[in-house]
Amino acid sequence: MGFLRKVFLLSFTTFIVYLGIKIHSSLQLPPLPNFDNEYWGRGKPTKDDIAVRPFKINVPDQVLEVLQQKLNQPRSLTPPLEGIQQQYGMNTNLLKEIIEFWKTKYNWREREKFLNQYPQFQTTIQGLNIHFLHIKPTKSSGKDVVPLLMLHGWPGSIREFYEVIPLLTAPQADRDFVFEIIVPSLPGYGFSEAASKPGLATPQMAAVFKKLMERLGFKKFYIQGGDWGAIIASHFATLYPESLLGLHSNMCTAQTPMSFLKTIIGSIYPSFVVEDRFKDKMYPLSNVFSYLLLESGYFHLQATKPDTVGVALGDSPVGLAAYILEKFTTGTNPDWKNREDGGLKLKYTYTNLLDNVMIYWITGSITTSMRLYAEELSKTNRELQLGNYPIVVPSACARFPYEIIYQPDCIWKDRYTVLVQTSEFPTGGHFAAFEEPKVFSEDVWSAVQKFRDLLKKK
């Protein structure tokens, strides 16, 4: 019976592979779209003011006074269940500690100076005021200065990159190049204006950022992204490959028909897809689906009713902090939900985490940030099928062990056809730049070195 079972499984697997090849080869992809002329501002389209305007964060005192009033309002937070840490969401005992720190030790005016340490600007693109950091290298004598566009996600912000920036803009003795970094706030996030019309998803954001880089004088550059930033970067590579010298991502994903088939086959023969030491990250699929179901409730809510939940989060700084910081527990390490402290001080400080929360609060951008989920899952956006196009730009994928989704090289290569570097790290999760700035930045240096070496061979 054992022999017959193996023969059946082998025959079945062969058939599935054959079927997958046939489906993949016959897949008719729609023409690549063009979003260069979309207008996302209020009212009728007007001509963009192409000026690049200096910008500094300067929050009115009244905004801070209202925040303090809300933090000081008497409230009774529901006590956690006995024996429960973060399994039901943010533990209110931990939340009380964070709120007390926020009220008594967190100094926004000091943090405002910290956030303003890097040059910031705004410019109008497709009807929206887009905010960005633009940092040139500390020294560049004898080095090639290479532009790098870095993109954040949700519930992150430009704050995620502040520890990485000095590590990338300071020259390394053994490298003949150094980075010039551009870090925009995504439209609807922080200090970038939100769309007034529906439809602004990640492909359309790629078009916005292409215009940003062109306006700054960069025809070719490197791109890096995590979370939504990773999705935008992959779409950028699909829509505008001629603009990119290389792509680095700490959340590479391949969801092509072939990658799906490989995943299914691996559920029968894991070694066909993934090394034995990593197979528990992908299989059994029931465990993966259970985990995603447990941790993706917010995704469904934001993809369907972002404005409803946005009312509550936009009115309560305590609720906003709970909603955002809970993601920094499970997103950094899912086991941290079993800790009383949520593990937050193992990688972060309350000050750094509250910087990120404050960017959402002072700009009132939580609702508009969450709308990206609804736009991304819209029927119109799904019909573009951009995830099925091969990425021909040289790519590097960093694999942090606690990232939400694990995929091996053999699946990544179905989409990233010129995969020049993949990296495995012993620690780190979804917010890699924020968690592990030194490891993260060195991986970017290494990837761009390989991109440059590859270009020299051509």
Positions marked catalytic: 227, 373, 430
CA pair distance 193, 151, nearest whole angstrom: 16
CB 97 within 8 A of CB 151: no
Beta bridge pairs of residue 179? 146
CA pair distance 337, 350, nearest whole angstrom: 17
Q: Which helix (H) or strand (E) holds 324?
A: helix 317-330
Q: How far is CA 209 from CA 7, 55, 71, 296, in A?
A: 52, 18, 37, 28
Q: Which two tokens stand for residue 90?
A: 């943010």
Q: Would you give the DSSP letter of residue 391?
A: B
Q: Which two tokens stand for residue 222?
A: 């490197």
CA pair distance 394, 392, nearest whole angstrom: 6
User: By C-alpha distance, which of 421, 62, 20 is closest to 222?
Assistant: 421
Q: Which helix (H) or strand (E) holds 422?
A: strand 419-424
User: By C-alpha distance, which of 433, 438, 449 is closest to 396?
Assistant: 449
Q: Which two tokens stand for residue 145?
A: 């200065």
Is residue 97 packed enough to be buried (19+ CB in 10 Å), middle (13-18) or exposed (0-12)?
A: middle
Beta bridge pairs of residue 123? 130
CB 231 within 8 A of CB 373: no
Q: Which two tokens stand for residue 229?
A: 């930033």
